[in-house]
Amino acid sequence: MAPRPDVSEKRRTEIVEAAARVFSHKGFNGARMDDIVLETGLSKGLLYWYFKSKDAIILALLERLLRPELKRVEVLAEAAGPARTRLIGFAESIVMDIQRMERLMPITFEFYSLAFRNRVMKEAFQEFFRTFIEGIQKVIDQGIEGGEFRRVDSRKIALALMAAFEGNILLWVFDRTLADLGQLRLSTELILNGIGRATAVGRHQSVPKREARQ
C-alpha cells in the first residue's frame, strides 16, 4: 500500500497560511484566535489541537518564513562558480523573494518588534542571523582562496553585506522614494568591488584616458 499522506502537516500549513492573512490585516496584537478560526473555517477545538496558543502560531509562521532563506544560503555556500557571481545572484534572489512576498512585509517587521520582548523569538532571529552570516562568510572565504578577493576579514564583510540587505529593505519598505530594491544589488556590488583584487577592480572602475587627463 502507498504511504498515507501526512494530513496533520498539511493542516498545520493551512492554519499558518490563514493566520498570516489575519496578521497582515490586524497585526499580532490585534489578531485573536477566533479570527484565525474564522479564516480557517475550522472549529476552535480543532485549531487548538494543532496550536495551543497564538504565540505558537506566530513562531510557526516565523520558522516558515526563515527556513527557505537558510536553505538558500546553504545552497549558495555549496554551489560552484565564482564567489562574486554567486553573491550577486543571491542578492537578486532576495529581491525576487521580497517582491513575491510583499504582502507579508508588515509581518516581518512586527517579528522584529516582538523579538525585543519575547525570548523565544529573539533566539530564533539570533540563530537565523548567525547561520546566514556564516554562509555568506564561507562564500567570501572561497573567493579569497580562489584569488577573487583580497585577504580581508571575511566575517566583517559578511556582516556588511547582511547590514546592506537589511538596511536597503528597510528603506524600501518605509519610503520608496529613497530606495528601490535594485539598490540591494548595487550595494552588494560596491562591497565586493571594495574587496576585489586590484586587477579585477580596475576592470570594473577604469576611467577613459581622455577623461583622466582633464
Would you list the domain boundaries of the chain? 1-52, 65-213
- Where does the pLDDT of residue 97 fall: very low under 50, low under 70, confident under 90, or very high at 90 and above? confident
Query: What's the pTM?
Result: 0.78
Nearest to 153 by CA among 131, 133, 132, 183: 133
Cell matching residue 159: 556582516
What integer pLDDT is reported at residue 106 of this predicted model? 77
Q: How far apart are CA 12 and CA 35, in angstroms?
A: 16
48 burial (CB, 10 Å; 0-12 / 13-18 / 19+) is middle
User: Taking 60 as the threshold, does the pLDDT of residue 199 lie above it?
Assistant: no
Phi, psi for 150 (deg, rounded to 5): -70, 165
| pLDDT tens figures, 99-133 | 887 777 778 888 888 888 888 888 888 998 999 99
What average pLDDT does this structure show over 26-43? 92
Which whole number is the average pLDDT over 22-29?
89
How is residue 22 written as a grid cell?
Answer: 489575519
What confidence score (pLDDT) does residue 149 get? 96
CATH superfamily membership of 1-52? Homeodomain-like (1.10.10.60)
Confidence at residue 203, expressed as pLDDT on a 0 to 100 scale: 47
The answer to whether 77 touches 135, Cβ cutoff 8 Å, is: yes
What's the grid cell of residue 14?
493551512
Topology annotation, domain 65-213: Tetracycline Repressor; domain 2 (1.10.357)
One-letter identity of residue 17: E
Q: Cell triple for residue 125? A: 532571529
pLDDT average, residue stretch 3-24: 81
Give the pLDDT score at 79: 92
Per-residue pLDDT at 86: 95
Question: pLDDT value at position 48?
Answer: 93
* Among 117, 209, 109, residue whose Cα is nearest residue 166: 109
Separation between Cα atoms, residue 131 and residue 124, nearest integer Å: 11
Say what the pLDDT of residue 198 is. 59
Q: How does the average pLDDT of the chain come out, rounded?
A: 85
pLDDT at 115: 85
> Which residue carries 568591488 as its cell?
193
Q: Which amino acid is present at 197?
A: R
